[in-house]
């Protein structure tokens, strides 16, 4: 299976390169960066921190899609939209870990999924996807007597907030209670806010250091509090999950899939 990596010189890109190189049965078809990037022409193995692979980072993304069975994308929303169009054009499966997509970006992804298999997830970690199922179930069992707060923390360089994973957790608990997240979501509290409204789903965002990703769903009731937490100590868990998703696309029909599909969680 030939796997290409866009954004190959970024933190996640380098981990993805290393994961593809390390796994049996996979061929690294190439990696790209934006024109003018300082790491263009660097060996992909060196970028990954392993032995030289004899493949250099390029900037021809269309050629990468043409040479690959599947491409993994952890970049930024604007380029993900472009990559979705290239996936459809070249009939190349696509794995998307980019978060913060606009409605227009998401529409491009959904259009591509009509022609190729696309796996899109706010978080590729196996553990986080188990957490999503647990949070949805707990929300349905506990009901409005328990206030829900979702707290997330990431490294200082993360550009979107709340994180895609936090929003996915919000959708999970909203589904558990059969409510609309957008109508119940509280993203900001500042000043004289008044008492908390029953049934709302709160979000708190923390940024600092090199935190790979911490997420907690709190169910706060009278006299007790239940907390479901996932902490990623290394981005390698996201790379492993993404490569697992890439393998899974082989033989899949066109469609928009999630990590729950990849993991068989229903």
The one catalytic residue in 89, 155, 158, 240 is 158
Structure tokens at 208: 């600092």
154 catalytic, yes or no? Answer: yes
The one catalytic residue in 83, 154, 171, 215 is 154
Cis peptide before 67 (omega within 30 of 0): no
CA 112 – CA 92 distance, rounded (Å): 10
158 catalytic, yes or no? Answer: yes
3-state secondary structure the chain: CEEEEECCCCHHHHHHHHHHHHCCCCEEEEEECCCCCCCCCCEHHHHHCCCCCCCECECCHHHHHHHCCEEEECCCHHHHHHHHHHHHHHCCEEEECCCCCCHHHHHHHHHHCCCCEEEECCCCCHHHHHHHHHHHHHHHHHHHHCEEEEEEEECCCCCCCCCHHHHHHHHHHHHHHCCCHHHHEECCCCCCCCCCCCCCEEEEEEECCCCCEEEEEEEEECCEEEEEEEEECCCHHHHHHHHHHHHHCCCCCCEEECHHHHHCCC
CA 200 – CA 147 distance, rounded (Å): 7
**Which sequence positions are flagged as catalytic?**
154, 158
């Amino acid at each position: 299976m030939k796997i290409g990596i866009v954004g190959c010189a970024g933190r996640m890109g380098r981990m993805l390169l290393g994961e593809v190189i390390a796994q049996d049965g996979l061929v690294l078809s190439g990696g790209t960066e934006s024109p003018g990037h300082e790491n263009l022409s660097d060996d992909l193995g060196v970028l990954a921190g392993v032995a030289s692979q004899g493949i250099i980072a390029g900037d021809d993304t269309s050629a990468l899609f043409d040479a690959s069975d599947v491409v993994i994308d952890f970049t930024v929303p604007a380029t993900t939209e472009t990559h979705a169009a290239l996936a459809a054009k070249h009939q190349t499966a696509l794995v998307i870990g980019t978060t913060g997509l606009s409605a227009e970006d998401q529409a491009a992804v959904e259009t591509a999924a009509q022609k190729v298999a696309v796996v899109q997830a706010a978080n590729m970690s196996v553990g986080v996807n188990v957490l999503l199922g647990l949070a949805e179930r707990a929300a349905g069992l506990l009901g409005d007597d328990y206030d829900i707060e979702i707290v997330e923390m990431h490294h200082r360089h993360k550009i979107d907030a709340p994180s895609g994973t936090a929003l996915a957790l919000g959708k999970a608990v909203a589904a558990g209670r059969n409510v609309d997240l957008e109508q119940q979501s509280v993203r900001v509290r500042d000043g004289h806010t008044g008492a908390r409204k029953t049934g709302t789903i709160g979000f708190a965002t923390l940024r600092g250091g090199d935190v790979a990703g911490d997420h907690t769903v709190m169910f706060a009731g009278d006299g007790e509090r239940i907390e479901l937490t996932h902490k990623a100590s290394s981005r390698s868990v996201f790379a492993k999950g993404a490569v697992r998703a890439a393998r899974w696309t082989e033989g899949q029909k066109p469609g928009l899939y999630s990590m729950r599909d990849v993991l068989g969680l229903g």
